[in-house]
Amino acid sequence: MNNQFLLMVAVWLSAVSPSMAHEASHRNYYQVARQEPVKGVVVGSDGTPIPGASVKSLTSKKVTTTNERGEFSIEVASGEKLVISSIGYTSQEVTAGTKTLNVTLQLSNSQLGEVVVVGYGSQTKADVTGALTQLKADNIKQGVNISVDNMLQGKVAGVRIAQSSGEPGAGVDVFIRGVGSIRSGSTPLFVVDGVPLSNDNVSAGGPDFGLGSSEPKNPLNFLNTSDIETITILKDASAASIYGARGSNGVVLITTKRGSKGGPSLTYDAYLGTSKVIKKLDVLNADEYRKALANPAYDHGGNTDWQDVIYRNGFVQNHNLSFAKTSATGSYLASLSHMAQDGIVEKSSFKRTTARLNAEESFFDEKRLTVKMNLTASDINETAIPNGNTAGSDGQLIIHALMANPTRSLRDSTGGYTNFNMNAHYNPAYLLSIYDDKTNTFRVLGNIEATLRLLPGLNYRFNYGIDKSTSERNSTIYPNVTDRQPTGAYAQNNLSSLSTLLEHYLTYNLAIDKHQFELLGGFSYQQFRFSGTTFGMIGITKQGQGVDPEYNPGYAGTATSPSGYAQENELQSYFGRVNYNYDSRYMFTASIRADGSTRFGNNKKYGYFPSVALGWTLSREDFLKDISAIQELKLRASWGQTGNQEVPNKITQASYSLSTGAGYYLYDNLNLVNGTTVNRTANPDLRWELVEQYNVGVDFGFWKNKLYGSLEYYNKTTKNPILNIPSGPLSPTTTIWKNVDAQIVNKGFEIMLGSQLIRTKDFSWTLDVNGSTLSNKIKDLPVSELYSGSISGPGLSGVNANIYKNGYEAGSFYMLKHLGYDKDGKDIFEDKTGDGVINASDRQIFEGAIPNFNFGLNSQMRYKKFDFSFSFIGQTGGYLVNNTALDLNINSLASDRNVLRKYYEAKASTTNPVQLSSLYLEKSDFVRLNNLRLGYTFTCDRLTWLKSFNLYVSAQNLMTITGYSGYDPLVNTTKNSGGNQSLGIDYTTYPAAKTFLLGATVKF
């Protein structure tokens, strides 16, 4: 109708003025042409899409922004000039036409143009208002890293990684901004390509044959680290609250590699290496032991270093082959890898084979529909050693090696292993020979994601994911001459887990002049299922005779009672977020998530987790933008709430059992009827642990990025913690699961400083340092104290080292204060009560395990074709209870066992009783050269099929400066008691390794 009207006006004008008629006709043509939108995509020089880039017409002044895929649509006439700009990139002018525009922006000397992954999307760093850090593959691919969490070591301020064990594939503890819970753990939420993972175990644990039970391995060790493109750590509530109930300990977003811009590529990565124990403990050698003995009967005439007996030079190899390609409508990447690592302790090993396929394709007109698929499958085989963390003082392999009398011989005159003929103390090599522990875990993680553009700027996204794992662990101790299962035993533990994810959400991008809006709203449903079975045999055949029980459990022996379990829980969520940006100067972000969990009571099924954040880019203001020394200066402030649902299933429901102990006789004294016992009191009002966090930060870049970085202050408070506390009067059980009014406060500063010290054609040098302080305190705990950190040692059953008490940090230490030795070498303890008797009432509270300062230093240099990098990590202000030293105390000399040299040289009396005291409390301060790498890239212009060949050597854990006398100051043995977290206990943990590698990366 409008076009017909204009044509009529043009005819009328022709009678008045031909020139006016021509002008009207031209205007009509222009109006018709404008009806067709011009589409395009904006990417960086590496092919990465740039979300939030501004697209502005110089003629009509219309403006729009790119979505997270870098795509835009704007209604302008063909031939109009468009200006494409984004903070951190050099602006570019293009001409609108009929074809899709492909615009590549070049990075300016700025950090703000970097695209970072956020929950359910991506942003440029300039638009980020929360506290987050993104690591790229080039910054994290160093050394042997079996799992993702190890790759974060020393890279991010406020993130601390502690080894629970140095065994290949073993778990690590990840702490983001401190310890926020007493019972519910401090593990962050890991999200892989949009699929949130459960923090529950996916591999089977080991049985206790009197040597301690072994924990399941790291649930993240199934990922091939060579497949990882970026790791983003969401630290504050504004960044993490979009994940609501599982974001209280922070969120780690992992994205894997895809096909990149350019032609097809084929890459082969490989490395070979050797490892050895990071250090040996300083126990007496054979000659020193003989001189120290008061009883010559303990001199057995040999000379053995028992640490050398169980430790070896481990061998590691890794091979990864990947190929990728992009097309006009999509991309794909496929990879296959195999890793094999022999542990530094005899018989321990880890082998993993993984395959990955990432594919993306677009369909219909103008790529209206895009479908992505991510699929990874891994097969892991592990061999473990008898070194369970729940063992007593005599149960672990490593403590046996350390306690072993160095005057004993490895083998006797017959060539067999020497029999120590002692209860609770065995030849460690013999112990290894009779023990067999193998685990196989197969895991598949995959998701399919479809994005449909409904209208310009409005996209619907569907995400369906599965995470399936099955694990079988076969553990055998063969008939032996010890007092641990002397007739032999076998156990098989099976575990199966399945998680399914279903998500729908809408995103809408709108630009009006200088105003930019991004709206997100969605629904998520995730279901978790776990089941397991256990069965076994006792009295099996001797080793080497008949059929091994793992292949035929019924071949010989007596079956033990089988057991099993099955659990299921669900999480249903609604979430929304709005991002607002005015002129790239003022930013506002608000989000909310409502989570409903079957883990909580009928009256408190849903929790609501809001957040809000503000950002102000001062460097774009008139009063600063002309100052050449300032390229970037942005202030950020945020507040938000997140939750913690990491509690056992069914704890809100009552639990009952039938037993004869609670039974009664019906009618006569002969017919006993089982009675009902209440095992758990119901609590339908149990709700989430709530974490409230404030964050203030500043991002800066000065002197053309000669100095850049960020500074943060955070205050993170856990409220309503969930505890299993004593119940009130008339309760059917002695304890009840309940939210209490206590608070756990973590606060501190984080700083990251970086510099492009040198940037020339032939030489570049980048250096960055990060550090974080942490103050942790417990407030308003309604009970006098809670205990954890069970201690192993003779006569120390039931003794705990950790205490949770008001006014102190989580997991502080509780023990006697050791003042030294008297003239006879007797222990002197502080008599706190003044009654002249040293007992449990004289115990005192000491500083805890949490370091108050952590730091990392990373450097990367390139000179022509050489590349050189190194990294340091360190911590101060924390303490460890050296439970290993406690087992190697001075009275070992009086019991045919070895002792640490320092106790002998202190002239301590061999009659001193074993007591937990500050004698075994040591600082965990250290500085470590964590990684060192030197590489050279060969190029050959004559071989057009060979793009590059990089050869490198690398060393890991090369040097550690510390006063700690144990194997490793960066350790945290799991010694939980009563379900409460243990912190800072070191009990003969499988030590870390020093590793040397030779590797190569070939690109075709």
In the predicted model, residues of the chain with pLDDT beneath 50 are 1-35
CA distance 688 to 241: 14
Token couple for 264: 């097809």
Show the CA angle centred on residue 544, arms to residues 557 and 214, nearest 5°.
65
**Strand order across the 101-105 sheet:** 71-75, 37-44, 101-105
Nearby residues of 802 by Cβ (< 8 Å), 6 or more positions away: 787, 788, 789, 811, 812, 813, 814, 848, 977, 980, 981, 982, 983, 984, 985
What's the confidence (pLDDT) of residue 111? Answer: 58
Taking CA atoms, 555 is separated from 172, 560, 710, in Å, by 38, 14, 65
What's at 981, amino acid-wise?
Q
Residues in the chain, total: 1004
Tens-place pLDDT, residues 940-972: 777 777 888 899 999 999 999 999 999 999 998
Cα separation, 765 vs 753, whole angstroms: 14
Token digits of residue 523 = 């629904």
| Burial degree of 626 (CB within 10 A; 0-12, 13-18, 19+) | exposed
Query: What is the predicted pLDDT for the residue at 952?
Result: 94
pLDDT value at position 138?
Answer: 76
Q: Largest Cα–Cα distance in the chain?
A: 130
| Residue 759 tokens, joined | 């940037």
Residue 457's alpha-carbon distances to 56, 186, 505, 517, 632, in angstroms, are 15, 39, 14, 10, 29
Compute CA distances 216 → 397, 398, 435, 658, 711, whole Å: 18, 19, 18, 31, 38
Q: Which two tokens stand for residue 976?
A: 């939980």
| List of long-range contacts for 444-447, beta carbons under 8 Å, 24+ apart | 444/375, 444/376, 444/377, 444/378, 444/468, 444/469, 445/192, 445/195, 445/197, 445/222, 445/374, 445/375, 445/376, 446/373, 446/374, 446/375, 446/376, 447/193, 447/194, 447/195, 447/373, 447/374, 447/501
The span from the CA of 384 to the CA of 941, in Å, is 49
For residue 309, CA distances in Å to 275, 281, 430, 592, 817 come to: 16, 14, 11, 58, 36
pLDDT of residue 409: 96
Q: Are 630 and 594 in contact (CB under 8 A)?
A: no
For residue 989 the two structure tokens come to: 């943990």
- For 239-265, give the DSSP string: HHGGGGGG-TT-EEEEEE----SSS-E
Token pair listed for 780: 């308003």
Give the pLDDT confidence score for residue 536 in this predicted structure: 94
- 194 neighbors 142 (Cβ within 8 angstroms): no
